[in-house]
Amino acid sequence: MVETVKQSAVSQSETPYLRISNVVKKFGDTAAVDGVDLEIRKNEIFALLGSSGCGKSTLLRMLAGMERPTSGKIILDGEDITGLAPYERPINMMFQSYALFPHMSVADNIAFGLKQDKLGKGEIDARVAEMLDLVQLRKYASRKPYQLSGGQQQRVALARSLAKRPKLLLLDEPLGALDKKLRQQTQLELVGTLEKVGVTCIMVTHDQEEAMTMATRIGIMSEGQLLQIGTPAEIYDYPNCRFTAEFIGETNVFSGPVVVDEPDRVEIESSDLGGRVWVDHGITGPKGMQVWASVRPEDVHVHVVPPAAGANTAKGVVHDIAYLGSFSIYHVKLGSGKVVKSMISANHWHENNVKAPTWGDPVYISWRPDMPVVLTR
Amino acid sequence: MYNGNKLSPFLKGVLIVGFLFLYIPIISLIAYSFNASKLVTVWGGFSVKWYGSLFQNDQIISAVKLSIEIALASASSAVVLGTIAGFVLARFKRYTGSTLFAGMMTAPMVMPEVITGLSMLLLFISLEQFIGVPSERGFFTIWVGHTTLCMAYVSVVVRSRLLEIDQNLEDAAMDLGARPLKIFFVITLPLVSQAIASGFLLSITLSLDDLVTTAFLSGPGSTTLPQVIFSKVRLGLNPEINALAAITVLVVGTVVLIANYLMLNAQRKREQAIAAAMREAAPVPVAG
């Protein structure tokens, strides 16, 4: 997992630019979006991340005006836009399928929104030229969309959605239609363009890597609710629930009741581990409460000789090894049957003068007491 | 058995028999239009005199004129109404009675024409009694009848094309500031224009050769081409009819060939453009 702390252009003022308060959208009896509160700052790139059917696309369509919220308010730059029609909102959207008009040239596609605003011809031409330069497609102005490659179509879609200088730009799975290799390159290219223009942006994606790479902040959605909001690093290092911990990156979760709760430590009796998980900070909660401790694979060590006895350790056998070049993932099967994943760098065994354990070898796992994150839901 | 591109003699034979069955009547019809003899079944040497007498037959000339007028008028109105109906069927969310509406739209296609014709005849007669319009059966009543029939076909063609089109295109236009009515004319209509064109051509052919509905709705002064042909055949076969049929085959065949050629050409150009774009896209430019 790549952890990037972005130098973002987030403005210093604390008043939110976009405020979504308690928005609910019901289709029949089921709530697709169930009471979402969200504040977005100016010039921020915010990613709504969740698996399909979590309500993120519905929330985006409500921002665009394609769906009317059942209840709640959306306020953009001090103006209540909840009831405005899509064509009245200072918001533009880039569709996942790009939705380029097939019967219009690239230039006409970009000019379409400007023509609706009844701008003069000179101004429209100038703005179209500026947008074509921004996405480096000047040569292709007179082409039809089907005469362009997927990556070029994506850039036309971006130019078209930026041409009206929207107060808010919505990106629906912006790179979902591109193949993997092109996607990674385009991610940074897209962020570069967005920062150059300086636009407030909400993107929807199911690809956690895309969200972590592009966004200044991420909101994790599940079953219509926003579970956690934070920077990519905050969400990775301090997930607030099991869903987030397991959705972002890989993790090992041990469940059990709290048996010792002191200000400086917590001990969790985990039957998965066959011992105690010891965490070096207190939590607020009653003794005996069921909690989950999440330990990332890169924090789990594998030993061939038993470490000092105590908590945060267990004996197991090597169940599987996934060799991934610069590192390997060891799957260690514990006595309880639970398989724990551990990320070991390629030269770890060599540096420690130890012969690398292989399939079926007995090993011990351990981690530092400051590594587990205790989750209460 | 079927293997690769080669047909077995048996399959080839079946194919030839099938084609002969379909085309021998038409070929013999055209051949006999050049018959010098007045008797349709006896070959009396080559002649084009029937074509000459055809163009001097005022009854046939006026019937052709009327048929073309009705076909153009019905196709035009059917295209307008059918497109609107197709749009409603494809784009409106479910509403009370939407299934009933969909069923009623396509009913004229499956309803026996005798029933359609008879019911419309009764409708026009009662209308005449109550409000005096239409005062007689003729161009107007045939036009209404053919429009009813043709718009069902147009709505089906337009609807299926609309369902193919990415609905996000209309959403995108709205997102960019266009109002629904404008979107219909600037985005939706151009995208379904081919379907509308083929609906128009389909309507013309349907209207041109409709006999049953027309028979119910035509009056004394209005006789369409199919009616003339039918009545002439009843009086005994006449090589003039063969000549007329040959001309019809020629005209229809030419139109179909031209339409096919244009469509194939457009498709080929499009495919070439896509292939060119894919080749060009191989090196991806890097953003600065």
Q: Quick check: B277 pLDDT over 80?
A: no
What is the nearest CA distance from A363 to chain B, expressed in angstroms? 48
The residue segments making up the domain with residue A343 are: 251-375
Q: Give me the pLDDT at residue A216, please.
A: 92
Mean pLDDT in chain A? 87
Residue A178's pLDDT band, with cuts at 50, 70 and 90, is confident
Using CA atoms, how far apart are residues B232 and A263, in angstroms rounded to an integer? 109
Residue A40's pLDDT band, with cuts at 50, 70 and 90, is very high
How does strand A30-40 pair with strand A18-27? antiparallel
Residues A326 and A213 grouped into a single domain: no
Those residues with Cβ within 8 angstroms of residue A358's Cβ, 6 or more apart along the chain or in another chain: A318, A321
In chain B, pLDDT over 70 holds for what percent of residues? 95
Q: Which of A116, A146, A152 sits opposite B176 (nearest CB)?
A: A116
Read off the DSSP letter of residue A358. -
Residues A120 and A218 grouped into a single domain: yes
Q: Which of B171, B174, B287 sits opposite A136 (nearest CB)?
A: B287
Could you give the C-alpha distances from B119 to B77, B103, B114, B145, in angstroms and in order?
Answer: 21, 18, 8, 10
Q: Quick check: A273 pLDDT over 50?
A: yes
Q: Is A144 on the interface with B (CB under 8 A)?
A: yes
Choose between A250 and B256: higher pLDDT.
A250
The three-class DSSP label of residue A285 is: coil
**Is A6 a domain residue?**
no
Residues A55 and A107 grouped into a single domain: yes
What angle (nearest 5°) sits at the alpha carbon of residue B52, between those of residues B46 and B53?
105
Across A3-12, A158-167, B38-47, B199-208, the highest mean pLDDT is recorded for A158-167
Give A124's contacts in chain B (Cβ within 8 Å): none
Q: What is the mean pLDDT of residues B38-44?
A: 79
- Give the DSSP per-residue string, chain B: --BTTBPPHHHHHHHHHHHHHHHHHHHHHHHHTTBSSSSTTS---B--HHHHHHHT-HHHHHHHHHHHHHHHHHHHHHHHHHHHHHHHHHHSPP-TTHHHHHHHHHHHHHS-HHHHHHHHHHHHHHHHHHH--SSSSSHHHHHHHHHHHHHHHHHHHHHHHHHHS-THHHHHHHHTT--HHHHIIIIIHHHTHHHHHHHHHHHHHHHHT--HHHHHH--TT---HHHHHHHHHHT---HHHHHHHHHHHHHHHHHHHHHHHHHHHHHHHHHHHHHHHHHHTSSPPPP-
Q: Give me the pLDDT at residue A9, please.
A: 42
Q: What is the mean pLDDT of residues A244-264?
A: 85
Residue B244's pLDDT band, with cuts at 50, 70 and 90, is confident
What is the nearest CA distance from B216 to chain A, expressed in angstroms? 44
H/E stretch holding A323? strand A313-323
Residues A240 and A315 grouped into a single domain: no
Q: Give me the pLDDT at residue B5, please.
A: 64
Q: How far is CA A248 from the centre of its chain?
A: 7
**Is A5 a domain residue?**
no
Those residues with Cβ within 8 angstroms of residue A4's Cβ, 6 or more apart along the chain or in another chain: A212, A213, A232, A233
Q: Give me the pLDDT at residue A14, please.
A: 63
Residue of B nearest to A100 (CA): B169
Residues A217 and A71 grouped into a single domain: yes
Task: Give the count of alpha carbons within 13 A of B78, CB side only.
Answer: 38
Residue of B nearest to A92 (CA): B175
What is the nearest CA distance from A221 to chain B, expressed in angstroms? 24
Using CA atoms, how far apart are residues A145 and A135, in angstroms rounded to an integer? 15
ipTM (interface predicted TM): 0.80
Q: What is the mean pLDDT of residues A122-130?
A: 94
Cβ distance A87 to B288 less than 8 Å, yes or no, reads no
* Dihedrals phi, psi of A316, to nearest 5 degrees: -160, -175
Residues A32 and A116 grouped into a single domain: yes
Do B120 and B216 form a contact (C-beta atoms < 8 A)?
yes
Lowest-confidence segment of A1-15, B42-56, B139-153 by average pLDDT: A1-15
Residues A118 and A240 grouped into a single domain: yes
Q: Quick check: A317 pLDDT over 70?
A: yes
Q: Give me the pLDDT at residue B280, please.
A: 66
Residues A260 and A141 grouped into a single domain: no
**Is A94 a domain residue?**
yes
Residues A237 and A103 grouped into a single domain: yes
What is the nearest CA distance from A358 to chain B, expressed in angstroms? 43
Residues paired with A2 in a beta bridge: none
Q: Give me the pLDDT at residue B285, please.
A: 45
Among A204, A224, A245, give the residue marking a domain's end: A245
Q: Give me the pLDDT at residue B282, please.
A: 56
Mutate to test the interface with B, among A27, A60, A101, A134 (most CBs of B within 10 A): A101
Residues A340 and A287 grouped into a single domain: yes
Across A159-168, A323-332, B242-251, the highest mean pLDDT is recorded for A159-168
Residues 45-64 of A with CB under 8 A from B: 64
Q: Is A336 on the interface with B (CB under 8 A)?
A: no
Those residues with Cβ within 8 angstroms of residue A140's Cβ, 6 or more apart along the chain or in another chain: A106, A132, A147, A148, A152, A156
Using CA atoms, how far apart are residues B216 and A306, in angstroms rounded to an integer? 100
Lowest-confidence segment of A54-63, A154-163, A333-342, B228-237 by average pLDDT: B228-237
H/E stretch holding A169? strand A168-172
Mutate to test the interface with B, among A147, A169, A175, A197 (most CBs of B within 10 A): A147
Q: Which of B166, B274, B287 sits opposite A99 (nearest CB)?
A: B166
Give B286's contacts in chain A (Cβ within 8 Å): 185, 189
H/E stretch holding A154? helix A150-162
Q: Give me the pLDDT at residue A258, please.
A: 86
**Is A2 a domain residue?**
no
Residues A220 and A264 grouped into a single domain: no
Quick one: fold of B61-224? MetI-like fold (1.10.3720)
Read off the DSSP letter of residue A12. S
Q: Quick check: B286 pLDDT over 70?
A: no
Give B182's contacts in chain A (Cβ within 8 Å): 116
Q: Which of B175, B178, B287 sits opposite A92 (nearest CB)?
A: B175
Q: How far is CA A232 from the centre of its chain?
A: 7
Residue of B nearest to A192 (CA): B287
**Tally of domains within chain A:** 2
Among A206, A221, A245, give the residue marking a domain's end: A245
Task: Kindly report, residue by residue over A319-369, the tens digit of the pLDDT.
Answer: 999 988 888 899 999 888 889 999 988 888 888 888 888 888 889 998 888
Q: Is A142 on the interface with B (CB under 8 A)?
A: no
Among A214, A245, A276, give the residue marking a domain's end: A245
In chain A, pLDDT over 70 holds for what percent of residues? 96
Give the domain CATH number at A338. Answer: 2.40.50.140
Give A146's contacts in chain B (Cβ within 8 Å): 270, 273-274, 277
Q: Quick check: A2 pLDDT over 80?
A: no
Dig out the tokens for B70 from the structure: 């009705």
Give A102's contacts in chain B (Cβ within 8 Å): 169, 191
Residue A8's pLDDT band, with cuts at 50, 70 and 90, is very low
Q: Burial-class residue B230 by CB neighbours within 10 Å (0-12, 13-18, 19+).
A: middle
Residues A29 and A143 grouped into a single domain: yes
Give the domain CATH number at A203. Answer: 3.40.50.300
* pTM of the predicted structure, to 2 decimals: 0.78
Mutate to test the interface with B, among A58, A62, A89, A103 (most CBs of B within 10 A): A103
Dig out the tokens for A14 from the structure: 């604390």
Lowest-confidence segment of A355-364, B63-72, B250-259 by average pLDDT: B250-259
Q: Which of A99, A116, A147 sits opposite B169 (nearest CB)?
A: A99
**Is A11 a domain residue?**
no
